[in-house]
Amino acid sequence: MSIVVSDEILTATRMTEAEMRQEIAVMLFQKEELTLAQASRFAGIHRIGFQHLVASRHIPVHYDVEDFEQDITNLREIGRL
């Protein structure tokens, strides 16, 4: 699925496309609609960077079983586990 954000909206919000993606990712993470891993991928930034982003906004970083299982899967895929 693709979402098109018009230049008019970006201009009105004074955001770049990357900033808009980050804002959407933060909002969905805060609402617990996306996991940390999903939100960081959507935002297009490394997970640690996304954690810093949400922490700077005083949003608790919830780390649940799904996040843990995703971390284990990722570690297995890159051969570190």
Residue 81's pLDDT band (cuts 50, 70, 90)? low
Question: pTM here?
Answer: 0.73
CA distance 21 to 40: 10
pLDDT the model gives residue 35: 86
In-domain check, residue 18: yes
In-domain check, residue 41: yes
Domain residues for 63? Answer: 7-77
In-domain check, residue 1: no
In-domain check, residue 14: yes
Per-residue pLDDT tens over the stretch 8-62? 999 999 999 999 999 999 999 999 899 888 999 999 999 889 999 999 999 988 7
Per-residue pLDDT tens over the stretch 58-78? 998 877 787 788 888 888 988
Distances in Å between the Cα of 26 and the Cα atoms of 4, 35, 44 are: 18, 10, 12
In-domain check, residue 56: yes
pLDDT the model gives residue 64: 76
Count of structural domains within the chain: 1
- With b for 16 or more beta-carbon neighbours within 10 A and e for fewer, the 5-44 pattern comes to eeeeeeeeeeeeeeebbbebbbebbeeeebbbbbbbebbe
